[in-house]
Amino acid sequence: MEQVRIFDTTLRDGEQSPGCSMNLREKIEVAKCLEKMHVDIIEAGFAIASPGDFESVKTIAETIKGCTIVSLARSTPKDIDTAWEAVKNAADPRIHVFIATSPLHMEYKLKKTPEEVLEQAGEMVAYAKKYCSNIEFSAEDATRSDPEFLKKVVERAIASGATTINIPDTVGYTTPEEMRELIADIKGNVRGAEKVIFSVHCHNDLGMATANALAGVLGGARQVECTVNGLGERAGNTSLEEIVMAIKTRQDLAELTTGIDTTQIHRASKTVYNIIGQTAPLNKPIVGKNAFAHESGIHQHGVLANKKTYEIMTPESVGIHANNMVLGKHSGRHAVGQRLEELGFTLTKEELDRCFDDFKSVCDKKKNITDADLEAIVNHNTNLLFEEETSGYKLDWFQMATSNFTTATCTVSLEKDGEKIEDVALGDGPIDAAYNAIDAIIKPSEHSFDIFNIHSISEGKDTLGDVTVKVNAYDRTFTGRGLSTDIMEASINAYLKALNRMIAYEKKYKGK
The pLDDT-based confidence of 340 (bands split at 50, 70, 90) is confident
Residue 228 sits at φ, ψ, to 5 deg, of: -65, 130
Claim to verify: residue 105 and residue 222 sit in the same structural domain: yes
Claim to verify: residue 297 and residue 221 sit in the same structural domain: no
The pLDDT-based confidence of 94 (bands split at 50, 70, 90) is very high
Residue whose C-alpha is closest to residue 472's, from 435, 445, 491: 445
Report the 3 state secondary structure along 222-261: CEEEEEHHHCCCCCCECEHHHHHHHHHHCCCCCCEECCCC
Claim to verify: residue 114 and residue 239 sit in the same structural domain: yes
The pLDDT score that the predictor gives to residue 213 is: 98
Whether residue 285 is contained in a domain is answered as: no
pLDDT at 425 over 90: yes
Whether residue 224 is contained in a domain is answered as: yes
Separation between Cα atoms, residue 314 and residue 307, nearest integer Å = 8
Claim to verify: residue 164 and residue 54 sit in the same structural domain: yes
Claim to verify: residue 158 and residue 302 sit in the same structural domain: no
Residue whose C-alpha is closest to residue 324's, from 461, 456, 486, 459: 459
Domain residues for the domain of 305 are 292-319
Claim to verify: residue 130 and residue 243 sit in the same structural domain: yes
Separation between Cα atoms, residue 268 and residue 11, nearest integer Å = 13
DSSP lists the bridge partners of residue 225 as: 7, 201
The pLDDT score that the predictor gives to residue 48 is: 97
Claim to verify: residue 104 and residue 118 sit in the same structural domain: yes
Whether residue 283 is contained in a domain is answered as: no
Separation between Cα atoms, residue 428 and residue 423, nearest integer Å = 17
Claim to verify: residue 125 and residue 206 sit in the same structural domain: yes
Whether residue 286 is contained in a domain is answered as: no
For helices 265-276 and 371-385, give the axis angle rounded to 10 degrees: 60
Claim to verify: residue 161 and residue 187 sit in the same structural domain: yes
Q: Bigger pLDDT: 327 or 46?
A: 46
Separation between Cα atoms, residue 360 and residue 69, nearest integer Å = 40
Claim to verify: residue 183 and residue 307 sit in the same structural domain: no
Residue 166 sits at φ, ψ, to 5 deg, of: -105, 130
The pLDDT score that the predictor gives to residue 311 is: 78
Separation between Cα atoms, residue 408 and residue 433, nearest integer Å = 6
Percentage with pLDDT > 90 across the chain:
66
Separation between Cα atoms, residue 182 and residue 216, nearest integer Å = 8
Claim to verify: residue 270 and residue 355 sit in the same structural domain: no
CATH number of the domain within which 484 lies: 3.30.160.270
**What are the b/e assignments for 179-196, b being 16+ CB within 10 Å?**
bbebbbbbbeebeebeeb
The pLDDT-based confidence of 292 (bands split at 50, 70, 90) is confident
Residue after which a domain boundary falls, among 385, 408, 434: 385
The pLDDT score that the predictor gives to residue 310 is: 67
Tell me how many domains the chain contains: 4
